[in-house]
Amino acid sequence: MENEFIYSSQNRIIIDTTLENIQNNSKKIRFFNEQLTVEKIVLANSKINNPLYSENKMVFRIELNRKMREEIFEKRSISFRLRCEKDEYFYTIQEEYLELVDHQEVDNMDLLNILSPRVELLNHENSGDKKDAIVNNSQIKYLLNHNKAEHEKFSNYLSNKHPELYLKYTLSSNDSKPNKFLLVLNKFNDKNLTNNLDRDYKGTGESKVYTFNKNEFFEIDSENEVIIKKQSQDKKVAFIVHGLASQIGNKYIDLGKFLCSKGYKVYGFDYYTINRGISDNGYLLAEEIKKIKKVYPESEVLVVAHSMGGLVSRSARIEYFAEVDKIIMAGTPNGGSKILQKTQGIKKIRNKIFVAVNFFGFLSIKKDDLNELMYNTDPKGIKDLSNKSSFISDLNKKDTQHFSKKYFSLVGRYKNMSNDIIVSNDNMISINGINMSFATLKSSHFSYFKGKEWSSILNKALIYLK
């Protein structure tokens, strides 16, 4: 065998990155009568080089000629088996898409809004003391796909906003269809661990509560000793509850300051989102609220929640009878995500989260949540978000009193669209067909508490909910 670490078996290409010789190999290896090549490469100044909680170990470029590409879409089936160590993971990305991700002139939010991420997170299976990841034929076709409707929309965007890039990135002719994708190998480690305000829990699997003090969050122990030392029977209490693939930290500093200025004692509830059920997190939040109410029995409890956090908060109140007086939700899919009920919905959401986290920095995911995102193809937390899930159905069936001024929705309209890129506006404001009170703001799903607009709108919401 000429290359013991990269070779073919019938219509499958095997790449074994656990063998030492592969580190020194950089030559282009040809397969299938030279119609497909595999080459280990180094990409300078690319976002793939600095993965969160990981280090990039290897990148392989897969390139197909025109004939091979056409055969894959018409009749031929090929696949890859990728072997790595247990603390490593593979993902794939279309090279043309990565060029857009890396281009400084292209707005990341617009890119995420217009083009479906040409990224595939892979199924990893244990193989002895190693892991095997499979790239199947349908995934290869997705990576090489040319979605005409999307690219027409993106071409219009480029021609209006970046005419100098229009010719380079407009895929119009048959010869310019994508024909390259990358296999990227990363290794989990403690690199880029979040700082004191965006902390990582190192595998404990616990939820946490932070209390807001001046300009930062600090952790309270399980006995609430810090709280007990600062009792104030007439203090209003506010909980900040983050959303999917996020955590309490820097992104909520301004919100914490705002709530403090309104006389609230502010806490942040931090929980695992990817593979823990939403109802399970609702129970944990309810337990924390009960602890707080023992200290402040006469105080009102306000919850300000983002995205999935709104469902966690409603679960705490409706399913576990937490003494919550009012909930303000920003970008919460109260009817569940319609994307998830579609074919390959979980895969699409996982891919989009990965891009938002690793390339654009829109989400501040925890290390354990990222681990679940990479290795778990059927995560419970994401599944619960579907509007066809039993959790959403049961919660909405029980939640019949939301019209009694308990809830308020902050509705983002990105560039005046009827959604915030992730959640549609009607899904944010309606439960069981009844609309709650709401206010719109010019926000994407990732920027509800950024800028200047949100604070005046949130202030109006607090006045309404009095």
Average predicted confidence (pLDDT) for the chain: 88
Q: What are the backbone dihedrals phi and psi of residue 316, each rounded to the nearest 5 degrees, phi first?
A: -60, -40
DSSP string, 30-75: EETTTTEEEEEE--TT-GGGS-TTEEEEEEEEEEE-HHHHHHHHHT
Listed in sequence order, the residues at least 6 apart from 288 whose beta carbon sits closer than 8 Å to its beta carbon are 207, 209, 239, 267, 269
User: What are residue 36's DSSP bridge partners?
Assistant: 31, 64
Q: Are 372 and 274 in contact (CB under 8 A)?
A: yes
pLDDT in tens, 368-413: 999 999 999 999 999 999 988 999 999 999 998 666 789 999 999 9
CA angle 456, 446, 236 (to 5 degrees): 45
Domain limits, the chain: 6-188, 208-464
- Residue in 191, 253, 207, 239 with CA at minimum distance from that of residue 369: 207
Report pLDDT for 388.
85
CA angle 445, 284, 329 (to 5 degrees): 25
Positive or negative: CA dihedral 17, 19, 25, 30: negative
Can you say whether residue 353 is alpha, beta or left, with left for phi > 0 and alpha for psi between -120 and 50 degrees?
Answer: alpha
Question: 10 Å Cβ neighbour count for 281?
Answer: 25
Position with higher pLDDT, 212 vs 74 = 74
pLDDT in tens, 13-61: 999 999 987 877 778 999 999 999 999 999 999 999 999 999 999 999 9
- How far is residue 268's CA from residue 254's CA, in Å, rounded to a whole number? 13
Exposure letters 186-222 (e unless 16+ CB within 10 A, then b): bbbeeeeebeebbbbbeeeeebbbbbbeeeebeebee
Listed in sequence order, the residues at least 6 apart from 225 whose beta carbon sits closer than 8 Å to its beta carbon are none
SS3 of 431, please?
A: strand
- Residue in 285, 293, 348, 323 with CA at minimum distance from that of residue 139: 348
- How far is residue 274's CA from residue 245's CA, in Å, rounded to a whole number? 7
Which of 173-187, 376-390, 413-427, 445-459 is least confident? 173-187
Per DSSP (E only), the strands in 49-169 are 54-64, 79-85, 88-94, 119-121, 123-127, 130-135
Position with higher pLDDT, 343 vs 264 = 264
- How far is residue 377's CA from residue 407's CA, in Å, rounded to a whole number? 33
Report pLDDT for 194.
44
CATH annotation of 208-464: 3.40.50.1820
- How far is residue 317's CA from residue 371's CA, in Å, rounded to a whole number? 30
DSSP letter (8 states) at residue 311: H
Report pLDDT for 207.
80
Report pLDDT for 161.
83
Whether the pLDDT of residue 173 is over 70: the answer is no
pLDDT in tens, 324-370: 999 999 999 999 988 777 767 899 999 999 999 999 999 999 999 99
- How far is residue 415's CA from residue 442's CA, in Å, rounded to a whole number? 7
Positive or negative: CA dihedral 270, 275, 281, 282: positive
Which of 191-195, 246-250, 287-291 is least confident? 191-195
Tokens of 460: 């109006």
- How far is residue 38's CA from residue 7's CA, in Å, rounded to a whole number? 10
- How far is residue 136's CA from residue 16's CA, in Å, rounded to a whole number? 17
- How far is residue 411's CA from residue 413's CA, in Å, rounded to a whole number? 7
Tokens of 170: 């407009």
pTM of the model as a whole: 0.91
Position with higher pLDDT, 187 vs 164 = 187
Average pLDDT in the 75-81 region? 95
Report pLDDT for 395.
97
- How far is residue 111's CA from residue 97's CA, in Å, rounded to a whole number? 10
pLDDT in tens, 423-450: 999 999 999 889 999 999 999 999 999 9
In the chain, the amino acid numbered 168 is K
Report pLDDT for 226.
46
Rounded to an integer, what is the distance from CA 464 to the centroid of its chain? 32
SS3 of 78, please?
A: coil
